[in-house]
Structure 1
């Protein structure tokens, strides 16, 4: 079993030590709590860290105000602490700052332990909060670059799409195939992993809410849903007709053109011309031929939607200047 230290573990360890060093260097009471706040505020992404840090700061201020008033009015008793929590927790939950409950509890316990409110104590606690949160935000400035991994997912997904479309064209052309279909579950997994990483990449940018890769993976996800819908119709075609060869050629060409380049208008025109050619052909002579041609018309309809999805995303991406 290999032992590996991740970047988040390293950041947490360094941040905890740095927070304690600063708080101890300033001769603050309860300086160890600065490390606890730092550990709690380090998150997976920069945006999450900022959100959590804000929640903890506000919650601590609310907790200090409530506990300061009740301790001074009722006294420093265990049941006063119980009353403070009964009042404090619903307020924080209502403000949707649940993440700050643990940190605030530490600060409230400091006030209870000292047993006396003073400006020096309040200043001490505020400094501990600022040091803990500040060091966590500093540590979260570093996030590993995910561009290489995103490019890998991008490339793998396109290769899988090419294989799937090519194998479907083979089945249309010959009515059989020895393809094992392993690319289907692999593509599902790649799409999910790529989309999750792209979303994480978005959350590592404070002011950016759009991401080219995220839109790409969403586009391929929707296109893959169409491929899954048309696969049963392809598998039902056991008899080849002249139209089967035409659609197979189209799908094979489409498989070779899976790329970020926008060739949608060209392929849409190809579909229009194929439909026009099909309409000029003689009517089917047998029921089997009718069913095959009906399936082929449906496959063309789905492939048209497959292309429109990319076209819509391309226009959206252009507006976003991706």
Structure 2
């Protein structure tokens, strides 16, 4: 596997160097700690970076207040440090600011090392925190564009849906198929990866809480659950009837129409007409025919739900102007 440096590693390295350079230029004590704070605050997404930075800032203020008070009251001793940690960590955890524990510990140890509280030391620590967090936020302004990868997942998922629906139609039509089914697990992975990337894309926009791709992947995920429910019924049919050809044609046409375009009303009308036609046909003459026709009716019911899922999402997207 070739050696590769990711964008996050690169901006972490640049940020750490920049933070130290600024702190050193300002002649701050413990200037190397600015790099540690920067490294700790650089996150996967912009929104997460803001939250982590805020948590660390508040936790550091709490840590300085508690440690400064206890050190001056009890003394600069190892057991005082232990007592501070016993008091400090539960408070931060209660405030749901666990991310600030590591950063605050660095600041607390600075106070312990110096062995005395002064205005200059407090200003020094505040500047280290501001420099470390500020540089991290600056580095996190850059996030790679996910549009190309999201379009790739979109296309791959649609191609897989087309293949799966077509192969189901082949099995209904002939009662057998040479399909190896590899698209099934591949689709599961594509949906999960696409949804995760779309969620990360949302987290990289501070004021945006919705994403067209995320809704799309969620829709396909629900539709895929329906396809998985249909598959056992299709695979059990080794006998074909007249209606098998009709449902196979519908599946084949659906496979060719997998796209963001909303053709749901057309296909719902098709299914309604097919059901009416089924009702007018003579009753089954054998148990085998009855079972096949029952399975076909179930498949049509699931296909209706498959289409309604897309229709609901389409209406929601219009309302939200995605």
Tell me the TM-score normalised to structure 1 length.
0.99
Q: Number of aligned pairs?
A: 322
The answer to whether the aligner puts 1:286 opposite 2:286 as a matched pair is yes
Which residue in 1 is equivalent to 2:218? 218
Distance 2:162 2:295 in 1: 22
Provide Cα deviations, 1:82-107, integer angstroms capped at 9, x if missing partner: 11111111100100101100100100
Which residue in 1 is equivalent to 2:98? 98
Residues 263-282 of structure 1: matches in 2 within 5 Å? Answer: 263-282=263-282
Cα deviation, residue 203, structure 1: 0.8
Which residue in 1 is equivalent to 2:167? 167
Cα deviation, residue 239, structure 1: 1.4
Cα deviation, residue 207, structure 1: 1.2
Which residue in 2 is equivalent to 1:15? 15
Residues 116-265 of structure 1: matches in 2 within 5 Å? Answer: 116-265=116-265
Tell me the TM-score normalised to structure 2 length.
0.99
Cα deviation, residue 180, structure 1: 0.9
Which residue in 2 is equivalent to 1:55? 55
Provide Cα deviations, 1:276-311, integer angstroms capped at 9, x if missing partner: 010011111111111110000000000000001111
Provide Cα deviations, 1:124-169, integer angstroms capped at 9, x if missing partner: 1000000000000000000000100000000000000000000100
SS, match of residue 97 in structure 1: coil
Residues 74-89 of structure 1: matches in 2 within 5 Å? Answer: 74-89=74-89
SS, match of residue 261 in structure 1: coil
> Which residues of structure 2 form unaligned runs of 5+?
none
> Which residues of structure 1 form unaligned runs of 5+?
none
Cα deviation, residue 240, structure 1: 1.2
Provide Cα deviations, 1:58-77, integer angstroms capped at 9, x if missing partner: 00000000111111111111
SS, match of residue 98 in structure 1: coil
Provide Cα deviations, 1:164-195, integer angstroms capped at 9, x if missing partner: 00010011111111111111111111111111
Which residue in 1 is equivalent to 2:313? 313
Provide Cα deviations, 1:23-68, integer angstroms capped at 9, x if missing partner: 0001111100000000000011111111111110000000000111
The answer to whether the aligner puts 1:2 opposite 2:2 as a matched pair is yes
Which residue in 1 is equivalent to 2:42? 42
Distance 2:104 2:239 in 1: 72
Distance 1:320 1:175 in 2: 44
Distance 1:223 1:62 in 2: 49
Greater shift, 270-279 or 76-85, is seen at 76-85
Cα deviation, residue 315, structure 1: 1.2
What is the RMSD computed on CA atoms of the aligned residues?
0.7
Distance 1:294 1:80 in 2: 76
Deviant stretches of 4+, over 2 Å:
none
Cα deviation, residue 116, structure 1: 1.2
SS, match of residue 177 in structure 2: coil
Distance 1:11 1:46 in 2: 13
